[in-house]
Amino acid sequence: MQKDIDKLLEFLYRYKTAYLSLPYDKRKEYYYEMRTNYNLQRFNTDYKKYSENWIPRAAQVIFLNKTCYNGLFRVNSKGEFNSPAGYYKNPKIFDHENIVNASRLLSYSEIIKADFKDFRPENLEDSFIYFDPPYRPISPTAYFTSYAKDEFTDTDQYKLANLFKDLDKRGAKLMLSNSDPKNIDPGDNFFDKLYKDYYIQRIPARRMVNAVVAGRGEINELIITNYKVA
């Protein structure tokens, strides 16, 4: 999307045309064939050096995101994408305007693939940094940490809080979102203690990822900042 938008759009248009021309059952087959191919090709991509191999892979990511169940990007312990197929009449596989706008923004952006613990940028006085980590589970059935092949534990939450504090001392404006354990246990003060020196807001958010439709109601999520939000 950043380096070769025209070829990316060509792939997406091809996927869109093929997918929308099929009846529902055949769309599911197409989806699972794409998912299998995406998983098999993960070993054939050099993520450190850009090449044209990135283009069809990026198109597959977008296609799978737009056609999987609830747009959920989830992988198993082997690193295989395993979200099931969703049911959509006309998914936005080829979202030309949005992709063009995103490409313009990315054209002057630097994308770094690294562990968050290695994030040590310079010149932070005019910077805004947003953290969106794997959410801490708020119930025994909420496996948010398992949406990636490596779990994000409470130990990682502590390490992220230490990074937050370090960047705060260096002058950056910071925002972090996470689950609110008080939705289930009013006495769970995990984040209140971890970020006690910062501004913590609880905002209503609609839970969209739940196998039971009735379970997709509003819950609170946390927004943590090192500055007061009006």
Tell me, what CATH number does 197's domain have? 3.40.50.150
Asked if residue 123 and residue 175 are part of one domain, the reply reads yes
Contacts by 135-142, CB closer than 8 A, 24 or more apart: 135/178, 135/179, 136/178, 136/179, 136/181, 136/190, 136/191, 137/179, 138/179, 138/180, 138/181, 138/183, 138/184, 138/219, 139/184, 142/179
Domain termination site, one of 106, 137, 169? 106
Specify the pLDDT at position 214: 43
The last residue of one of the domains, among 62, 84, 106, is 106
pLDDT below 70 — which residues of the chain? 139-150, 207-217
- Does one domain contain both 18 and 98? yes
* 149/32 Cα distance (integer angstroms): 20
The secondary structure of residue 81, as a DSSP letter, is B
**pLDDT tens string 82-98:** 999 999 999 999 999 99
Give me 192's structure tokens. Answer: 């209140």
Cα of first residue to Cα of last residue in the chain, in angstroms, is: 34
**Distance from chain centroid for Cα 126:** 25
Q: Which residues contact 94 (CB under 8 A, 6 or more apart)?
A: 9, 12, 13, 15, 16
Distance in angstroms (rounded) separating the CA atoms of residues 62 and 64: 6
pLDDT of residue 77: 86
Range of the domain at 53: 5-106
pLDDT of 117 reads 87
pLDDT of residue 150: 64
Contact 61/200 with Cβ under 8 angstroms?
Answer: no
Could you tell me if residue 194 is inside a domain?
Answer: yes
The per-residue pLDDT for 229 is: 85
Q: Are strands 218-225 and 199-206 parallel, antiparallel or unpaired?
A: antiparallel
Query: What per-residue confidence (pLDDT) applies to 217?
Result: 62
**The predicted structure's pLDDT at residue 211:** 47
97 and 159 both lie in a single domain: no
All residues at 6 or more sequence positions from 116 whose CB lies less than 8 Å from its CB, including other chains: 131, 133, 159, 160, 163
Q: Please count the residues of the chain.
A: 230
Domain total in the chain: 2
Residue with tokens 């892979």: 57
Specify if 27 maps to a domain: yes
Task: Say if 230 falls within a structural domain.
Answer: no
pLDDT at 119: 85
